[in-house]
Amino acid sequence: MTEKTRVLIIGSGPAGYTAGIYAGRANLSPIIYEGDQPGGQLTQTTEIENFPGYPEGVQGTQMMEEFRTQALRFGAEIKSRKITRVDFSKRPFVCEDDRGDVIEAETVIISTGASAKYLGLADEEKYRGMGVSACATCDGFFYRKRNVAVVGGGDTACEEALYLSTLAKKVYMIVRKNYLRASDVMKKRVEAKENIQILYNCNTVGLFGEDGVEGAKLVEYKDTPREQVFDIEIDGFFLAIGHRPNTEIFKPYIELDAEGYIKVKGATTHTNVEGVFAAGDCADPRYRQAICAAGTGCRAAMDAEKFLMENAELS
């Protein structure tokens, strides 16, 4: 089966659904492929308090459902399926989904997001949304005057720890090496903070707690004669070991940076392929916030609309 569309949006979440809202209002009848995780990373977040318009906060799943409903209201077609193959060598672009169906698109908006890297512990999944987080900016507010831990030793981990130190009572940094990989300025800032304690040569092997995280089990000097196991009491466990943009299938055609994030042209959402646009975390290695993703979803839809107007022969 082959279907044609003027705007194909690959991925959901704040960027994809917002792109669907704007493209729908522009009478472009967009098709959104939600992918493996409809609603994106926010569906794994409990309460969101920093998105404008929700003064009392909102559950991540509820907010994404409202975005989705709004996209449907303005004419977007939403498929709970995944694009598995793309051909951006010529227009119309040809994409294939996980059922083998083909879709030909005059424009494509990529909003596949990025996935936080985890340690791979079973306890991370057990306590996800109950003390385990990959975003201090999103969830740090819930741990005011409490003890938390940040896993990682790079600039991102230092930034997360510094941010949390303004809210939490104490911040442990769990670093598997005997040094921080961060820049000198970040090292100095972390070391100067009285409520940040750096635990070098440590690996997390488990988390524990009744109704949420209450502590972490660590191993110091793992697999050496000096190995010892000990616990720390914490309420929040923050992963800061990086993100992995979900861009693998686009690699043959779309220009990516060294980390795999999509490169866009200047302040636009244009990629190196004319007619293909990128929005949200898959093109944002820096901010990774829902409000930013929604904004780029809006811009991508407007860029796609302008492209279609300027290339009317494609319609």
Q: Is residue 160 within 8 Å of residue 150, measured between CB atoms? A: yes
Burial level of 100, CB count in 10 A (0-12/13-18/19+)?
exposed
Residue corresponding to tokens 């050496």 = 224
Task: Give the C-alpha separation, 111 to 100, whole Å.
Answer: 21
303: annotated active-site residue: no
The one catalytic residue in 95, 97, 123, 135 is 135
Task: Give the C-alpha separation, 215 to 130, whole Å.
Answer: 12
Q: With the C-alpha atoms ordered 209, 212, 214, 215, is the resulting torsion angle positive or negative?
A: positive
Alpha helices in 166-262 (DSSP H): 184-192
257: annotated active-site residue: no
The one catalytic residue in 95, 97, 123, 138 is 138
Q: Is residue 281 within 8 Å of residue 159, measured between CB atoms? A: no
DSSP string, 154-191: SHHHHHHHHHHHTTSSEEEEE-SSSS--S-HHHHHHHH
Half-sphere exposure of 196 (CA within 13 A, CB side): 27
Other beta carbons within 10 angstroms of residue 148's beta carbon come to 27
For residue 7, give the nearest of 249, 192, 277 by alpha carbon: 277
Compute the chain's Rg from CA coordinates: 21
Encoding tokens for residue 174? 């769990």
Angle 59-65-66 from CA coordinates, rounded to 5°: 90
135: annotated active-site residue: yes
The one catalytic residue in 123, 139, 281, 284 is 139
Q: Annotated catalytic sites, by residue?
A: 135, 138-139
